[in-house]
Amino acid sequence: MKRLARWYGANPLHLLALLGCFALAGYASAQLVKSHPLAVAVWFLGAVVGHDLLLLPLYSIADRSALAAIRDRSPRLPAVPWINYLRVPAGLSGLLLLIWFPLILRLGTDYHASTTLSPDPFLWHWLAVTGALFLLSAAMLALRLRRAPHPTASPSTASRGGKNRHNPAGAPRPAPPPATREPPRTARQDADETAPVRPLPARPGADETDTDDHGADSAKRNPPTRSQAASPGDEGERPAAGRPSSMGQEPHDP
């Protein structure tokens, strides 16, 4: 018995539960595939492939591209976690499209014939809701920016931060709260400027990358978790894990 369990790889109860599952699922699928076995199987498989290998990669790539594109373009980004002000309205709008695309794209040909309702408004409604979501998000970001401390002095200094290496206090800044232990902003920009080609560090700000010593520095001060401890510097590209997100110098709450 023990040997069998070892060969199987789990408790015999595990086997029993799974066999029960397959019995019930098999019984149901025997009815399910009665009329169009191949088409039903294609739908089932298509459901998994469509989600796991199409939808999810698509929105992940969109998310990372947004992060990367804006990070590389604008060194003058505000020091607040702006990505979520883009991510949330885009995600919600995408969710509505995902659910209601047959109506929005007028795929159900009988809709008007059977309900006498117009198939026209759905596209406009979706666009209007999308617009409203982005507007609302923009308004909230604007409010946030007003409250946030202003970014570094002049844009030119910030964008050419490389020359400012030894003058980290290029502009008066509010003192960071004790929770966020940041290297001074210009130094971080330096790091970014000197390493322009980086594989997508999924970070909100343009200026949020760390050199190794910063990472080590922060790791020293923030006791690392097991996973961090296990993998310091395993990849040069890796920004220091677990360091407080440096988005701005104020504690924030998305």
Partner 1 sequence: MTNARRSRRRSVLRSLVRRAARRLDRLRRGLVSSSRAAGRRVRQWLDRLPRPDELPGPFRRSFWRSPIRGPWLTSVLGLVLLPGILVVFATGLLSYAAYNPDLSYLNDLTPGKGWLGFYLFSWPTDPAWLYRLNQGVHVTLGLMLVPILLAKLWSVLPKLFEWPPVRNPAHALERLSLFLLVGGAVFEFATGIVNVQQWYVFPGSFYTLHFYGGWVFVAALVVHTGLKTPTVIRALRHGGLLRELRTDTAHTRPEPSDAEGLVSPAPAAPTISRRGALAFAGAGSLLVLVLSAGQSIGGPLRRTAVLAPHGQDTGSGPLDFQINVTAAQASIKAAETGASWRLTLGRTGADPGTPVSLTRAELLAMPLHTARLSINCVEGWSTGGQSWTGVRLRDLARLAGADRPASLLVESLERGGAFRHAVLSPAQIMDPSSLLALHVNGSDLSPDHGYPARVIVPAAPGVHNTKWVTRLTFGS
Contact positions with partner 1 (CB under 8 A) in 195-224? 200-204, 208
What secondary structure letter does DSSP report for 118?
-
> Does residue 130 bind partner 1 (CB under 8 A)?
no
Q: Which of the ranges 70-78, 91-99, 148-156, 159-167 carries the binding residues for partner 1, by CB under 8 A?
A: 91-99
DSSP code for 51: I
Buried b (16+ CB within 10 A) or exposed e, 192-215: bbeeeebeebebbbbbbbbbeebb
Under 8 Å CB-to-CB from 15, ≥6 apart: which residues? 8
Binding window for partner 1 (CB under 8 A); candidates: 69-77, 118-126, 139-147, 185-193: 118-126
Site track for partner 1 across 23-52, x = CB under 8 A: -xx-xxx-xx-xxx--xx--xxx-xx-xxx
Among 67, 158, 187, 191, binds partner 1 (CB under 8 A): 67
Q: What's the Cα-to-Cα distance from 132 to each of 48, 77, 210, rounded to whole Å?
A: 32, 23, 36
Instruction: Please give the structure tokens belonging to residue 18.
Output: 């799974």
Tell me: does residue 140 bind partner 1 (CB under 8 A): no
The C-alpha atoms of residue 191 and residue 165 are separated, in whole angstroms, by: 9
Residues 172-191 binding partner 1 (CB under 8 A) are 179-180
With respect to partner 1, which residue has the nearer C-beta, 155 or 199? 199
Interacting residue with partner 1 among 68, 70, 76, 84 (CB under 8 A): 84
| Residue 136 is a binding residue for partner 1 (CB under 8 A) | no
